[in-house]
């Protein structure tokens, strides 16, 4: 007999990566488990029969989402029909609340048990949504250490399982990678709109830095699914750069003295790898204006939120241009007497890895889900 059918819904590249690790962990316990749903290449490799692709959802910012709304709504209607037809044994959703909350609403009337892996960042904005999760989700599984306290304010228990990046990045194995003091990494993001906005500014900053540090070498880490031709078209032809495949990302992160990175999971990857990073964030003016009204978090970068201080500099919106980026990088590459050094930042990141817990987060999450299902 075939095993239980799970539906996994990942809404973006990082969710695809984390959900794939979870599916692999679930299958280590239940090898007969089947999976379908929404995902990307990593979930497909882990054995998901992918019905809907995350590439169709990888947009950011309010105005950007509005432009893709008709396509997203059609996808949601189709997912609702599939859930009703298949009646999976469990629905597992990963982060991406704007999308996944609507999938949850479709699953609730069908009586499908719902599990939220990598809880949505309600602590940043729209905390009122906690009541919706408390009412609809059987278990909320967190990978960030400060989230349990937040959800306790809403009379909710959270399963904190540690962070899967501890396994993915594997810092002990990276310690043997030499840090090249003249290498600067560039991570412009995984969404096309994000890359179009950030990479030209990274290129301009690189040009400025080269005038002051002629020996610098720039390397751009291509996100999974990102077209290298697009990246090359956005980079200034007079500035040397190497484009690196995503499979080499963690060793390359570790080898950099400094990285400029789009805000998101990638900045936490850099932190786990032990590499100082400048965090950048830029969306449309309207999206940013609305975000300033709604977002309550003191920082935008996950490493800063976890450590409760600005260990990684943050350059947002208007400051995310070539000259400010170059100036911030210069402060770290050539610090003034008494200023923080790259070595100081690397030392602070040792404490962050402790807070993220031991290896095995995905296995602990799989255990939580399967044990809970066994009690139904």
Q: What is the pLDDT of residue 108?
A: 97
Q: What is the pLDDT of residue 247?
A: 83
Average pLDDT over residues 355-367: 96
Residues of the chain with CATH 3.40.50.2000: 5-164+360-374, 171-355
Q: Where are the beta strands (DSSP E) in the chain?
A: 5-10, 34-39, 49-53, 90-94, 114-117, 139-142, 159-160, 180-187, 217-221, 242-244, 256-262, 277-281, 314-316
For residues 209 and 119, the model is more confident at 209
Reported as a pLDDT band with limits 50, 70 and 90, residue 61 is very low
Label residues 37-73 b or e (16+ Cβ within 10 Å = b).
bbbbbbbeebebebebbbeebbbbbbebeeeeeeebe
Q: What is the pLDDT of residue 103?
A: 95
Write down the H helix ranges in 295-355.
302-307, 322-333, 342-355
Reported as a pLDDT band with limits 50, 70 and 90, residue 68 is low
CA distance 235 to 207: 10
CA distance 50 to 20: 12
CA distance 165 to 358: 10
pLDDT at 226 over 60: yes
pLDDT at 330 over 50: yes
Q: What is the pLDDT of residues 28-58, one digit of tens each?
A: 999 999 999 999 999 999 999 999 998 776 5
Asked if the 171-355 domain carries CATH number 2.40.50.140, the reply is no
- Tell me, which fold does domain 5-164+360-374 have in CATH? Rossmann fold (3.40.50)
| Mean pLDDT across the chain | 90
């Amino acid at each position: 007999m075939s095993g239980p059918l799970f539906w996994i819904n990942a809404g973006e590249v990082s969710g695809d990566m984390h959900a794939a690790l979870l599916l692999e962990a679930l299958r280590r316990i239940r090898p007969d488990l089947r999976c379908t749903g929404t995902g990307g290449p990593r979930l497909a490799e882990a054995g998901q029969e992918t019905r809907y692709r995350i590439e169709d959802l990888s947009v950011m910012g309010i105005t950007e989402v509005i432009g893709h709304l008709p396509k997203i709504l059609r996808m949601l209607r189709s997912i609702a029909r599939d859930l009703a037809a298949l009646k999976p044994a469990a629905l597992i959703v990963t982060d991406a609340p704007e999308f996944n909350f609507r999938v949850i609403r479709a699953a609730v009337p069908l009586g499908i048990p719902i599990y939220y892996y990598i809880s949505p960042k309600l602590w940043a904005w729209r905390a009122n949504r906690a009541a919706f999760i408390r009412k609809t989700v059987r278990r909320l599984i967190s990978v960030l250490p400060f989230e349990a306290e937040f959800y306790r304010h809403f009379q909710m228990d959270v399963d904190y399982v540690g962070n899967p990046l501890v396994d993915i990045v594997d810092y002990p194995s990276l310690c043997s990678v030499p840090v090249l003091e003249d290498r600067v990494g560039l991570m412009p993001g995984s969404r096309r709109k994000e890359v179009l906005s950030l990479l030209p500014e990274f290129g301009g900053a690189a040009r400025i830095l080269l005038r002051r540090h002629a020996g610098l070498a720039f390397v751009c880490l291509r996100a999974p699914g990102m077209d290298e031709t697009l990246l090359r078209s956005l980079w200034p032809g007079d500035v040397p750069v190497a484009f690196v495949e995503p499979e080499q990302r963690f060793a390359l992160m570790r080898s950099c003295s400094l990285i400029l990175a789009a805000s998101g999971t990638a900045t936490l990857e850099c932190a786990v790898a032990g590499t100082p990073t400048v965090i950048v964030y830029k969306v449309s003016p309207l999206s940013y204006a609305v975000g300033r009204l709604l977002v309550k978090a003191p920082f935008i970068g996950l490493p800063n939120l976890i450590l409760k201080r600005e260990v990684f500099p943050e350059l947002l919106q208007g400051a995310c241009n070539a000259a400010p980026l170059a100036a911030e990088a210069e402060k770290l590459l050539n610090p003034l007497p008494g200023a923080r050094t790259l070595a100081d930042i690397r030392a602070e990141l040792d404490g962050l890895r402790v807070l993220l817990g031991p290896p095995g987060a995905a296995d602990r999450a799989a255990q939580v889900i399967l044990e809970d299902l066994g009690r139904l």
